[in-house]
Chains A and B, each alone.
Chain A
């Protein structure tokens, strides 16, 4: 992403001069206060929006299978079973279920839901629905997964569990993740890089490297190293909020 500006209706500047280099395998958190339109940055990455100026460049060729998306809500099709929901990215590329059955079941196994393949979304808890959403995002083994505050609506215990699972899954499929969050703690635990953004207009304030090694366990959450990273991220976020004010 190079010097990207995004303006709505010619009057509202959502993003200003945003540059971000994403390397293969990165786990980047976009951290900012509410209302700092980080989601707009994510929509630019996913080609749902186009920059007013600047550009977004992929290295090498890419197609729709190179991108997976997880929204704040699980965004499942209520009329389809869990397996049919996970099959969707393949189905839209013309693959029959029998052709990709193994991939679908493998993705469900990775998120621990292989026994629920014939269930409907309404039969699942909030955390399980989000797992299905994650399975759908990763079933095509994409190069990049965009996640827009996926765990914001979940309780703390489920959130911690899904944080751990997400890191395991990322390691399993070896993709790049761009993760939008308003939680300092979540961003520190998950990321190797935190991009702190300010609001009105949305812009990058600073980038923090979280150079703690993976895999990260529950012990990391109580380490002094984690506390130090959290302190730095909190300071950067406060600076971002101060600049916005």
Chain B
């Protein structure tokens, strides 16, 4: 195989190569175009169902009315969105610190892992809606209660994935570190943490969505209004008033927030792994 001289005439593409390049082009365009097309079709379908069946707006508003409500109520909904996003991001941050911290502790001491891991599993598998009322009885601060609920939902994927990653460091590299007299801290810093990075980032992407779910569920359970109310409370409130368009508008904001969190964390993952990890590398063929 040799590198082509730019002055050489272009090489003839065989049928396989032509098909592969066409497939690549279609996939590149389709990745963005197809979901957008599906969205437009769904909106049209939704609108037509409402118009043709003359469904009243307090049962099912049309997409146009939802959009108008989103604009009209933007100030109130945006303020609520900020509260939900604040709880979500704080919960995610605490999930990262707590999840990674516990994972490091678990891998440093098998006894600690054996002692505490079952309880981490119990916390994860117990539904948050069952724990949340108790949390709001015992925790005075509303913000702290919301944060605790969201954290409980979000921290386990970080803990589980990071523990797996820390334990997945190449055994020959572990031996090499031992031969070179590496301290426990050096092994953790230079070997285990980089090995765990792809696993951690996978857990982080799951935790991003779960912390939003945790924040919304906690707001539902807390059910308190006021200036510092999040989107979940605005949905509850709109439901009580049969303001269905606002419910849809708030729901759209939550969904968009979830997508932005996922996209942001996926981008972070790509940036951190793009140079070396298989998951971020493109294959030529």
Contact = CB atoms under 8 A, between A and B. Distances in A.
Interface of A: 43, 46-48, 63-64, 67, 69, 71, 73, 75, 77-80, 88-89, 91-93, 120-122
B194 interface: yes
Interface string B182-211: 100010001100100100000000000000
B185 to A, nearest CB: 11
Contacts of B276: 78-79, 120-122
A63 B275 CA distance: 35
Contact of A77 (B175, B179, B191): B191
Contacts of A121: 276
Contact of A48 (B179, B191, B275): B179
B173 interface: yes
A46 B179 contact: yes
A92 B175 CA distance: 13
B277 A92 contact: no
Contacts of A46: 175, 179
**Of B186, B194, B275, B276, most A-chain CB atoms within 10 Å:** B276
Given A77-B191, A78-B276, A120-B275, A89 B180 contact: yes
Nearest to B281: A122
A69 B197 contact: no
B191 A73 contact: no
Given A120-B275, A120-B276, A77 B173 contact: yes
Interface string B144-170: 000000000000000000000000001
B172 A92 contact: no
B-side binding surface: helix, strand, loop or mixed? helix
Contacts of B179: 46-48, 64, 67, 69
B181 interface: yes
Interface residues of B, number: 20
A88 B175 CA distance: 13
Q: Which 9 A-B pairs have the closest CB atoms?
A: A64-B181, A75-B172, A79-B194, A92-B180, A71-B172, A92-B182, A78-B276, A79-B276, A120-B276
B173 A63 contact: no
Contacts of A78: 276-277
Contacts of B228: none
B103 to A, nearest CB: 18
Interface string B263-285: 00000000000011100010000
Contacts of B194: 77, 79-80
B193 to A, nearest CB: 10
B277 to A, nearest CB: 7
Given A48-B178, A48-B179, A64-B179, A91 B172 contact: no
A143 to B, nearest CB: 14
Contacts of A93: 180-181
A91 B176 CA distance: 13
A115 B179 CA distance: 28
Interface in B7-60: none
A71 B178 CA distance: 14
Contacts of B180: 64, 88-89, 92-93
B170 A75 contact: yes
Nearest to A137: B176
Contacts of A71: 172, 175-176
B233 to A, nearest CB: 44
Given A120-B275, A122-B276, A75 B176 contact: yes
A67 B181 CA distance: 11
20 contacts: A46-B179, A47-B178, A48-B178, A48-B179, A64-B181, A69-B179, A71-B175, A73-B172, A75-B176, A77-B190, A77-B191, A78-B277, A79-B194, A79-B277, A91-B190, A92-B180, A92-B186, A120-B276, A122-B276, A122-B281
A23 B190 CA distance: 34
A92 B190 contact: yes
